[in-house]
Structure 1
Amino acid sequence: MAAVAVLGALLTVTACGADTPTVPTPVTEGPDIAVDKTAPPPPVVPPRWPLTGVAADEVASRPALAVKIENPREVRPQTGLDQADVVWEQVVEGGVTRLVAVYQSQVPAEVGPIRSVRPMDPAITAPMRGIIAFSGGQPGFVAALRDAGVQTVSHDAGNAGFYRTRIRPAPSNVFGNPQAFWDQADANHQAPPPEQFAFARRAEQATVTLLGTPAGALNIAMSSYSQPGWTWDAVSGTWLRSESGTAATAASGARLAASNVVALRVDLVDSGTRDPAGSVVPETRLVGTGEAVVATGGKVLTVTWTKSGVGDPLVLTTADGQVVKLAPGATWVELVPNGTGSVTPG
């Protein structure tokens, strides 16, 4: 009987344990966070080509390539000018102009005719930290380019990519392959160039479009020999180039055009050197400040240009000191001599 009593007691204790409720572990809840499911995702800002401000899916990692292009009447139309991001026009001996065509966003198959460098080329090319390809040039001019940090690719030095054609007589028959020039970039000259101008995101946001005076043309006298003109074309949204009243085209047949034309009033001085014919080699002074006329979007605006040093980029500002934003696209820069040249909107 005693054993039965003990067994019954054990069964009672076990049964009571089975009926004991389990205490749940407390759950600590954080504060409610409101989620705005209607908010749009952050905008995707596409990359832009540094020399044109044009948006792209991808920007190629190659340096700026400047090429010296001849421009007297007998060599027109030139090859590859329609694919340049920026073109600088400068007065050389006898009032003839020469061009510095700069490429980065496009890769032409061929460019030319290629000619020699001049004393103002370091100030044009150094801010881009890239390459310049040319045929000929006084040793001092070539040395100045290297001293300014520009890599030189020279026909005279036997660098690759240059060849002569039969379509014109020498010395206007040197042409070149831009890809071959890019392939020679050294370790210090392989990066894309810094932005050389400020660009608006869209053409209608450009400074001159917003603040300028309507104009259908921009007539320029570089010298008595060279008188380029620009006519606004609303259909293409570009300024179309002419040479002394004749439509200017590239060898491809494409009309030469630009989204922006920047006419800088500059001093033209004697460089102290002579060409092989004994003519004075002029030099455009680009370090300093002066007046400029910018044409964008069918309007023109007088602004101020400033360039602090050879390696510094050109800065354009309005009368109240605001940096001028250009329209995305190609830009032509006209270096118009003070005193002998003129810039006339029409």
Structure 2
Amino acid sequence: MALGLAGCTDSGSGEETGPKPGGRAASPFTGLPAESGPVLAVKIDNVGPARPHTGLGAADICYVEQVEGGQTRILAVLSSRLPPKLGPVRSARESDVELLGQFGRPALAYSGVQSRLTPLLTAAPLYAVPPGQASDAYFRDGSRSAPHNLYLRPERLLGHAPEASEAADIGFRFGAAPAGGRQETEHTVRYPASRFDFTWSPADKKWLVAMDGAAARTTDGGRTAASTVVVQQVNVRDSEFRDRWGSVSPFTETVGSGQALVLRDGKAYDARWSRDGERGGTTFTTPSGEPLNFARGQVWIMLTAR
């Protein structure tokens, strides 16, 4: 099963240096030493009543997606380590199917979907495991109000997806920062009804996360922070689906190419992203076409409308 992560040092070459101390290879999701483990994606609630989150610091990657009403949800991807519990968990969307295609056949934990979307999830290359298929892996927290009180026991969930794909290359590269960039210690990402602020902390060597003007924290790990933040500009269009109140669900297109901004080490780097198809990974390059290395550690990818 997945293990905790250890620190590592950069070779200065901008390339991975092979096996790390203890013989462990680097995670393709974080660049840190990790045992190979199955991929688990979890749809996380992100409105005010759902905060603070639990277990989010264990995620390798946090994707932020727009949902109905201009709000956001987080798709947390885990493999390197698993927290005892994670949440709150909410419903999946059509966008998740396209986004998760690059992970092989991962497990997906979510609270449910509207009935018209069920056939799409069933046919997708993933193990869709909502509470109805794994009741022992979910529980309600009595100290919170529904629907913001559903939590996941990740290890139990993976027991219901024993053949889930293990972590593999999805296009990320880790190592020394590229030349250039510009000093930027604060950056704001806005959605129609949600805001994220990232502030560089030299002491922590991470970007501290704030959501809607308040410092983001977890119940089990303190302040939420990322080693690398990617602002990926994508097409966000209406889908064929609506929520229970009739609002159109946006579809976030993650296949294609476009502009991006990569934040690492207190600097901002202009970048381009490219993904050729649903089963392919996403590459990030400098304007000159060279791979743009991320800083090792948790990666946040903000999927924002062009």
Instruction: Give the TM-score of the pair, scaled to structure 2.
Output: 0.88
CA deviation profile, 1:213-254 (whole Å, cap 9, x unmatched): 11111111112x201010011111111101122111111251
State the partner residue of 1:214: 183
How do 1:164-175 residues align onto structure 2 when only pairs under 5 Å count? 164-175=140-151
State the partner residue of 2:168: 194
Confirm or deny: 8 A CA contact 1:164 1:173 kept in the other structure: yes
Query: Shift of residue 185 of structure 1?
Result: 1.9
Question: Which of 134, 144, 166 pairs up with 2:110?
Answer: 134
State the partner residue of 1:344: none
Task: Write the distance in 2 (CA, Å) between the matches of 1:62 and 1:143.
Answer: 28
User: How many residues are aligned here?
Assistant: 285
Confirm or deny: 8 A CA contact 2:55 2:221 kept in the other structure: no
Query: Shift of residue 126 of structure 1?
Result: 1.8
CA deviation profile, 1:84-142 (whole Å, cap 9, x unmatched): 11000011011110010111111100011111001110122221121111111124434
Query: Shift of residue 164 of structure 1?
Result: 1.5
Q: Between Structure 1 and Structure 2, whose CA radius of gyration is higher?
A: 1
CA deviation profile, 1:155-194 (whole Å, cap 9, x unmatched): 134554011121222222211100001112233x2x4221
State the partner residue of 2:4: none
Confirm or deny: 8 A CA contact 2:41 2:107 kept in the other structure: yes
State the partner residue of 1:315: 283
State the partner residue of 1:22: none
Matched, 1:153 2:153: no
State the partner residue of 2:33: 55
Q: Secondary structure at the match of 1:82?
A: helix
Query: Shift of residue 317 of structure 1?
Result: 1.4
Q: Secondary structure at the match of 1:199?
A: coil
Confirm or deny: 8 A CA contact 2:55 2:83 kept in the other structure: yes
Q: Secondary structure at the match of 1:284?
A: strand
CA deviation profile, 1:27-55 (whole Å, cap 9, x unmatched): xxxxxxxxxxxxxxxx9732112211113
Task: Write the distance in 2 (CA, Å) between the matches of 1:51 and 1:146.
Answer: 26
Task: Write the distance in 2 (CA, Å) between the matches of 1:54 and 1:181.
Answer: 24
How do 1:65-144 residues align onto structure 2 when only pairs under 5 Å count? 65-129=40-104, 130-144=106-120
Query: Shift of residue 149 of structure 1?
Result: 1.0
How do 1:178-327 residues align onto structure 2 when only pairs under 5 Å count? 178-187=154-163, 189=164, 191-201=165-175, 205-207=176-178, 210-223=179-192, 225-327=193-295
Query: Match for 2:74: what amino acid?
Result: L
Q: Secondary structure at the match of 1:48?
A: coil
Task: Write the distance in 2 (CA, Å) between the matches of 1:90 and 1:111.
Answer: 18
Task: Write the distance in 1 (CA, Å) between the matches of 2:61 and 2:88.
Answer: 17
Closer, same or farther: CA 273–214 of 1 in aligned 2, 3 Å: same
Confirm or deny: 8 A CA contact 1:197 1:326 kept in the other structure: no
Q: Secondary structure at the match of 2:194?
A: coil
Query: Match for 2:83: what amino acid?
Result: P
- Ranges in structure 2 where 5+ consecutive residues have no aligned partner: 1-16
Query: Shift of residue 143 of structure 1?
Result: 3.4
* Residue identity (%): 32
Across the aligned residues of Structure 1 and Structure 2, the Cα RMSD in angstroms comes to: 1.7
Closer, same or farther: CA 65–176 of 1 in aligned 2, 3 Å: same
Q: Secondary structure at the match of 2:217?
A: coil
Runs ≥4 in structure 1, deviation > 6 angstroms?
none
